[in-house]
Structure 1
């Protein structure tokens, strides 16, 4: 029994993987490189059937223009493929816009919001048990009043307003919404 090194075994596996790689997968890997970024943005390889690559285009004009230059593209593609293609077919059928990769939205921390009042939740973890609705409302009203005692007043409605809202909009959040155009 002969022992082979791990590198030898990995080399054999890598060669087998390339040998078993499908031509369509190969086309998809280097499509943008072969056709260029402008064409790649307007096209999408769909399938290979009987050695003919079907490509969806964003418009009939793109399909027609690419049909005229298909021989040049076919030569470039066949230089990179292990199994050569016979022809290229362009059509708008099957075109779907590639979904745009969503940009991750910046996370805004609570203390960065214009309405942030500081650490005002001093009783956040405390559970209140056996209170009726009137007691809960009274506690809420007292807490609101205590929080708003030191806040500046909105110049428009004269309600206590977080300083961040006044800096950002010049008025409280409610008054700023009232000033928005109605057709939005």
Structure 2
């Protein structure tokens, strides 16, 4: 057993960690720095196969523009990321698909949902203790459900307590609405 200084061991571990890093993820992270911020807005790396990088562009003009500067980009990429890319291919194919993935899904407030009950009811009768087992958890859930359903209007089909928003939107509870729509298919 040899005794190596900690700095040598840390250096070896750091090299191993860099070796294991995904080169494509590093490329994506530094894409704007390599191609420039304007070109980065109109291009996205899609994949790397057999030392060829495929890049989606927002238009054919951007694909042509980047194709003309691909040799300079290859030099930058290979130097910055310690890669051995041979070529780059630019195309508008995949631009819409990759754009959809990067856009966040629109969110809505819970109060906008038809099943939202809000703070209509006082839950002071329901204990907020941590449950010890499944039976106690079910009993607590059951008490909460009963407390929440007090005073709610009833569904015209199944007579179950239903949030007013569901009745306004569908005329019945959500479950009966699903049953109606599946029967119509």
After TM superposition, the score normalised by the length of structure 2 is: 0.50
Task: For 1:107 and 1:8, locate their aligned partners in 2 and report how far apart those are by CA, in whole Å.
Answer: 55
How far apart in 2 are the matches of 1:106 and 1:12? 50
Q: Does 1:99 align with 2:133?
A: no
Q: 2:25, 2:48 → 1: CA distance?
A: 10
**1:140-160 CA distances to partner (integer Å, 9 max, x unpaired)?**
9xxxxxxxxxxxxxxxxxxxx
Asked if the contact 2:74–2:85 (Cα under 8 Å) also holds between the matched residues in 1, the reply is yes
29-38 or 76-85, which deviates more: 76-85
Return the offset for 1:23: 3.6
Count of matched residue positions in the alignment of Structure 1 and Structure 2: 120
Structure 1 stretches of 5 or more lacking a match? 109-115, 127-135, 141-184
Look up the SS of the partner of 1:26 in the other structure: helix
In structure 2, the residue matched to 1:86 is 86
Gapped regions of structure 2 (runs ≥ 5):
112-118, 127-149, 153-185
Show structure 1 runs of 4+ deviating over 6 A.
102-108
Task: Tell me how large the CA RMSD over aligned residues is.
Answer: 3.5
| Aligned equivalents of 2:13, 2:52: Cα separation in 1 | 29
Q: Kindly name which structure, 1 or 2, has the bigger radius of gyration based on alpha carbons.
A: 1
